[in-house]
Amino acid sequence: MTTATVQPAASSLGAKPSRPTFNFSAGPGCLPEEVLQIARQDMWDIGGAGIGILECSHRGKIYDKVLAEAEADCRRVGNIPSNYKVLFLTGGATSQNFMVPANLLPDGGVADYLTTGYWAEKSYEQARLYSEHVREAFSGKASRYTYCPKDDEVSYDPKAAYVHYCSNNTIMGTEFHHVPRPPAGVPLVCDMSSDIYSRPLDVTPYGLIYAGAQKNLGAAGCTVVIIREDLLERNPRPLPQMLQYRVQAKDESRHNTPPVFNIYLTGQVFKWIERQGGLSAMAKYNAEKAKLIYDAIDSSGGFYRGHARPDSRSLMNITFRLPTEDLDAKFIAEAAKNRMIDMKGHRSTGGIRASTYNAMPRAGCEALAQFMKEFQRTNG
Ligand SMILES: Cc1ncc(COP(=O)(O)O)c(C=O)c1O
């Protein structure tokens, strides 16, 4: 469902942004300008209905269409096979930390977790509430979470109910550039919160994918879950209805009143991605943008020190440090004066983090790379 007055462009990648500020926040992150303009219009009057999207009943015809389009667009963009359900839930990715084991892990069962960073550790800790046999099949702690492991570094248990990993470690700035391969028959579960739909995706190796929308897919409040249908039937324990994937699937993600606006917005982001040329166009654009900043790090002669091992560098969150913490702070403050905001590293790691999600314009990365060179010249 789109508005009558805002006519979306075929592709706006590389277009000059009309707002002067570049938002490098790790999430909620920047949104495509075009999506915001469409949403502004639809908030006032969606599709000529005389009311805005925020005022629509979740059981009415307008929302029926919004939801159907969001699901169809999500499936088309991600090439999601028909034996997977797409759910739009609430509670953020953090709620998936307990929903996954609650729905998939029997009492006393084994589950394997690859703890490659802060969020993956949170997922592991929550799963431990369900079984003492939840294992760290790989821990990145000793190497300060600087990389994502290859399969021969992971000790998989073939009896595991599933293997969980986080494809992009938002805080550490590391990203898997391959899909882990658990033993045959063990479903793969992935927290894709910070890199979903940033590159082509083959859903078939996965049993379940989840992502909070507020980085690449929209606004906080909507969590996308893509789940293989056979997993809906596992049902290892009685659970409140709201927490059961199969109830949410049966009730089309509206067991209760869903966040109508947030799901609408995520739907608009799927349409935007498709207009840009889909996931392969996003991947190319994201690689070009990240390269601008990694090149500035690599050519700085050690003034900027990246956290991630080069083979695990994230294209979404670029983490680095300057020679001193004082210089880190000065860099962040001066960047903000130059309208490049929200680059302070997470409270657990410090340093600098520039998040370059799908909606970050190339102009933002060019401006940051230029600023990094100038800052080094005057402070190096
Ligand atoms: C990879 C990852 N997982 C989980 C979370 C937590 O998400 P939420 O705040 O939606 O619960 C985040 C948030 O930044 C994240 O980056």
pLDDT tens for 17-57 read: 999 999 999 999 999 999 999 999 999 999 999 999 999 99
119 lines ligand 1 (CB under 6 A): yes
Per the CB < 8 A criterion, the answer to whether 116 and 166 are in contact is: yes
**Which domain does 353 fall in, by range?**
22-30+277-379
Q: Is 356 in the pocket of ligand 1 (CB under 6 A)?
A: no
Say yes or no: 228 and 359 in one domain.
no
Residues 6+ apart with CB under 8 A from 52: 42, 43, 44, 45, 46
According to the model, what pLDDT value does residue 26 have?
97
Ligand 1 pocket test, pick from 94, 176, 209, 316 with the greatest ligand atom count within 8 Å of Cβ, gives: 94
What CATH number did the domain enclosing 342 receive? 3.90.1150.10
| 119 tagged catalytic | yes
Domain assignment of residue 214, yes or no: yes
Return the ∠ at Cα 122 (arms to 176 and 213), rounded to 5°.
Answer: 65
User: Would you state the structure tokens that stand for residue 133, as one six-digit string?
Assistant: 């046999």
What SS3 state is found at 180?
Answer: coil
Cα(321) to ligand 1 centroid in Å equals 23
pLDDT for residue 369: 98
What's residue 101's pLDDT? 98
Q: Please give the distance, rounded to the nearest whole angstrom, from the Cα atom of residue 216 to the centre of ligand 1.
A: 12
What is the per-residue pLDDT across 72-86, written as a single tens digit (0 to 9) for each? 999 999 999 999 999
- 54 inside domain: yes
Question: 29-53 in b/e burial notation, b at 16+ Cβ within 10 A?
Answer: bbbbbbbbebbebbeebbeeeeebb
Instruction: Give pTM, 2 decimals.
Output: 0.97
- Plot region of 263 (φ>0 → left; ψ -120 to 50 → alpha; else → beta): alpha
CB of 262 closer than 6 angstroms to any ligand 1 atom: no
Domain final residue pick, 258, 274, 290: 274
In 3D, which of 274, 209, 261, 358 has the Cα closest to residue 67?
261
Helix 118-127, helix 92-104: angle, nearest 10: 40
Among candidates 175, 187, 252, 259, which has minimal Cα distance to 217?
259
The pLDDT of residue 347:
82
CB atoms within 10 A of CB 10: 7
Output the residue whose Cα is nearest ligand 1's atom 5: 93
Same domain, 179 and 301: no
pLDDT tens by residue, the chain, 380 residues: 654 456 777 788 888 899 999 999 999 999 999 999 999 999 999 999 999 999 999 999 999 999 999 999 999 999 999 999 999 999 999 999 999 999 999 999 999 999 999 999 999 999 999 999 999 999 999 999 999 999 999 999 999 999 999 999 999 999 999 999 999 999 999 999 999 999 999 999 999 999 999 999 999 999 999 999 999 999 999 999 999 999 999 999 999 999 999 999 999 999 999 999 999 999 999 999 999 999 999 999 999 999 999 999 999 999 999 999 999 999 999 999 999 999 999 987 889 999 999 999 999 999 999 999 999 999 98
What is the residue type of 230? D
Question: 44 catalytic, yes or no?
Answer: no
Give yes or no: residues 125 and 188 share one domain.
yes
| Residue 16 within a domain | no
107/55 same-domain check: yes
Which CATH number characterizes residue 137's domain?
Answer: 3.40.640.10
Instruction: For residues 100 and 133, state if they share a domain.
Output: yes
The closest-lying atom of ligand 1 relative to the alpha carbon of residue 169 is 1
What pLDDT does residue 15 have?
A: 85
Q: Which parts of the chain are beta strand (E)?
A: 22-23, 84-89, 111-115, 134-139, 163-166, 168-169, 174-175, 188-191, 206-212, 223-228, 305-306, 317-321, 340-341, 352-355
Integer Cα distance of 53 and 62 in angstroms: 8
Q: Quote the pLDDT of residue 348.
A: 78
Is the backbone of residue 54 left (phi > 0), alpha (psi -120 to 50) or beta? alpha
In this structure, the answer to whether residues 249 and 292 fall within a common structural domain is no
Identity at 228, one-letter amino acid code: R
* 208 and 301 share one domain: no
